[in-house]
Structure formats: C-alpha cells, structure tokens
Homo-oligomer: A and B are copies of this chain.
Amino acid sequence: MPHDAVTPDAPRPSWRDGLPPPPPGPAPEAHFAGSQTVRDIAIGMADGLTVPFALAAGLAGVVASNPLIVTAGLAAIAAGGVATGMGAYLAARTDTDHYAAERRREMQETFDWPDRERWEVLAILHRQGLRGDILAGATDAICADRERWVDFMMRFELELSEPEPGRAQRSAIAIGGAYLVGGLIPLSPYVFLSETSPALLVSSVMTAIALTVFGWLKARAMGLPPGRGALHTLGIGGAVAAVAVLVARTVGG
C-alpha cells in the first residue's frame, strides 16, 4: 500500500537476536492457563447454587407459599448475580489501578533514588546466586533500559504481575453469569411445583447433584482429583445451606 511505501517500518532488532534456538521440551499445553476464568466461574456457581437454595429452604419452613419463595429467590438471584459480577469488575479494575499506581511510584523512585533502586536489582540477582562480574554485568544490563528496570522491580520486589487487559469484563461476566445460572437450579422446583414440601425436597436433590457435578468438573479443569473435588464442593455447599436454613428457621419460627 502506498502509505506503507512512504513510511516503511525500519527493521527493528528482535528480542531474539543472539538467542539460540530452543532445545526440545514439553508441549506448552502441559501447563493449565485458564485457571482465572475457571476460578471465577467456580466462585459464581458455588454462591449461586448455595445462597438461593438456602434462602428458599429457609423460607419454606416459615411461609408455605411457593410464589412468595420464588419472588424472594429471584430478587436474591438478581441482586447476587449483579452484585458479584459488578464486585468482580470493580475488584479487577482496582487491581489494574493499583498496578498502575505502584508502577508510577516505582518509576519515580528510579529518578529520585537511582543508586538505591540499582542496589535493589543487585540484591535480587545476588539472591538468585549471581556473584562478581556476572552480578555487576547483569545489573547493568537490566538497569540500562528504564522500562525493563521498573518491570523487573514490579515482578521481583513487589511480586505484582501486570493485570491482563479485558480481565475486569471477563471476570464480571464469568462470576455474574455463573451466579445467575447456578441460582435458577435450586429455585426451579418452586416454580414448577405448587406444594412447598415436595419443592424443597426436589430442590435439595437438584442442588446436591449440581454441586457434585460442578465440583467434579471444576477439579478436573484445575488438574486436581475430581472425586475429592466433588465431595468437597458438596460438603461445603451443604454446610452453608444448613447454616442459612437454621438461621432463617430460628428467626422465623
């Protein structure tokens, strides 16, 4: 294209210049990358299954009116889904702001206290086992580029990784969506059955099955033992629901 022909990109030195080719190694799939989204869905789904179940079960012992239970349940699902989604969005945004603020401060320190910040790189590399000329040379190389210097400090001194762009939106959708989907499972029997006691029974069975399946899938996705994960999720969900039902019946009875 003409525009490109007028201002061609100068050949830039690649970061791979002088780097030998990689020896054979394990496939990159060996490490699990989607843990953050799985974690978000897990949080949303676990809360969505247990909180509306517990609310409905608690009310079922006090008011024998399924339409009222459905109303309260849907209000709780809507509030919980939007609140957890928004909360996750804000938390991720706060992380991004926090990272940016710390990076600005760290950058400023390389201007205000250059010797000290250079020494901190030296101390970190020293702890990695570097000594003598290698230590001095490596410190010089890292501090030669201020962006790199600051990035190195962010990771090794502050142990902060740069938040991924778009993480806030993805996290909000994963947590909020999982909450809404999870919440409709324990509530659906109160919609389709007219009597409260059978609805509570069906809701308990459906929630227990959903917790077990979901715990199993979550553990598998994280590369952990699925059977233990299923029992874990079922046990925790059951305990949460039992506490909530007890509170509601104590207050309401």
Contact = CB atoms under 8 A, between A and B. Distances in A.
A148 B128 contact: yes
Contacts of A58: 71-72, 75, 78-79
A134 B141 contact: yes
A94 interface: yes
A59 B76 CA distance: 10
Interface string A63-76: 10001101110111
A213 to B, nearest CB: 17
Contacts of A127: 15
Nearest to A157: B31
Copies in the complex: 2
Given A35-B98, A78-B54, A18 B141 contact: no
Chain A interface, DSSP helix/strand/loop, else mixed: helix
A126 B19 contact: yes
B119 A130 contact: no
Contact of A222 (B55, B67, B98, B129): B98
A76 B76 contact: yes
Contacts of A4: none
Interface of A: 15-16, 18-20, 22-26, 30-32, 35, 39, 42-43, 46-47, 50-51, 54-55, 58-59, 62-63, 67-68, 70-72, 74-80, 82-84, 86-87, 90-91, 94-95, 97-98, 101-102, 105, 109, 112-113, 115-117, 119-120, 122-123, 125-134, 137-138, 141-142, 144-145, 148, 152, 155-156, 158-159, 161, 222-224, 232, 236, 239-241, 243-248, 251-252
Nearest 3 pairs between A and B by C-beta?
A25-B116, A75-B248, A79-B244
